[in-house]
Structure 1
Amino acid sequence: MHEITLCQRALELIEAQARQHGATRVTGVWLEVGAFSCVEQSALEFCFELVCRDTLAEGCQLHIHQQEAECWCYDCEQHITLLTQLVRRCPLCEGSNLRIVADDGVQIKRLEVEETNHV
């Protein structure tokens, strides 16, 4: 289960950014999961909640966007989108000569924070 390691690293980055901007609490995190990341969404959600305990991000709302695999089929010369990483053939022509353009990582796309009130 590499989701725990991904969440720990993401939390390090989230807290560093939050502190750098004077945040007292992280209220929302938006993650984009690459189509070929082999990340299980339910495991990611569980691990994220676990690693956020007793941190600035505890109780924050997690938003996950699963990226689709964009492809170019050299056989029918069409752009296609694969809905699953298990498909290795073009759904239009059944060709297997695909150039797959998909990320295999997890990216932090956006943070929502509460800032310290300056008086």
Structure 2
Amino acid sequence: MHELSVTEHVLQLALKAADSRRILAIDLVVGSLSSFVDDSVQFYFEILGRETLAAGALLRFRRVSAQSTCLACQVVTPVDPPLPFACPACGSSQLRVSGGTEFYLASIEVEEL
């Protein structure tokens, strides 16, 4: 249900940035460890965007992976859920996971004036 509030915010940001032009597409970046579901965001966007300059706009989702850094051998690997228990290079369990929690509006495509 938290997709509703972030979708409202994305729509507000896009409409403000569009400066009274019709929005054709919105590019969103979503981290693989975030709990945001693309279909839910799409669903809320279609409802919230009705009767706005974003009505009918295409949402494009780009999923980005988290990164796992092995503290023993320094190997960095992309990771998606489920998270690994050991380094794929050396087998160490000393891993630091970073990133993957992003959710942001990367760009919008608007109609030419």
Give the TM-score band, short-chain normalised.
0.7 to 0.9
Give unmatched runs, 5+ long, in structure 2: none
**CA positional deviation for 1:82:** 0.5
For residues 76-112 of structure 1, what are the alpha-carbon distances to aligned partners after superposition, in whole Å with 9 as ceiling and x for unaligned?
Answer: 320111022x314234444332222214231111110
Aligned residue for 2:79? 82
Q: TM-score, normalised by structure 2?
A: 0.87
For residues 50-74 of structure 1, what are the alpha-carbon distances to aligned partners after superposition, in whole Å with 9 as ceiling and x for unaligned?
Answer: 2111111110111001110112111
Task: Please point out which of 97, 109, 112 is paired with 1:112.
Answer: 109
Aligned residue for 1:3? 3
**CA positional deviation for 1:115:** 3.4
Q: What is the root-mean-square deviation in Å for CA atoms of aligned residues?
A: 1.7
* Distance (whole Å) between structure 2 residues aligned to residue 96 and residue 42 of structure 1: 34
Q: Is the 8 A contact 2:65 2:100 kept in 1?
A: no
Aligned residues with identical type, % of pairs: 29
Aligned residue for 1:43? 40
Distance 1:98 1:18, change over 3 A: same
Q: TM-score, normalised by structure 1?
A: 0.83
What does residue range 95-106 of structure 1 map to in structure 2 within 5 Å? 95-106=92-103
**CA positional deviation for 1:35:** 2.5
* Distance (whole Å) between structure 2 residues aligned to residue 45 and residue 106 of structure 1: 14
2:111 partner SS: strand
* Distance (whole Å) between structure 2 residues aligned to residue 95 and residue 54 of structure 1: 54
1:31 partner SS: strand
* Distance (whole Å) between structure 2 residues aligned to residue 103 and residue 82 of structure 1: 9
Aligned residue for 2:26? 29
Aligned residue for 1:73? 70
Q: Is the 8 A contact 2:68 2:96 kept in 1?
A: yes
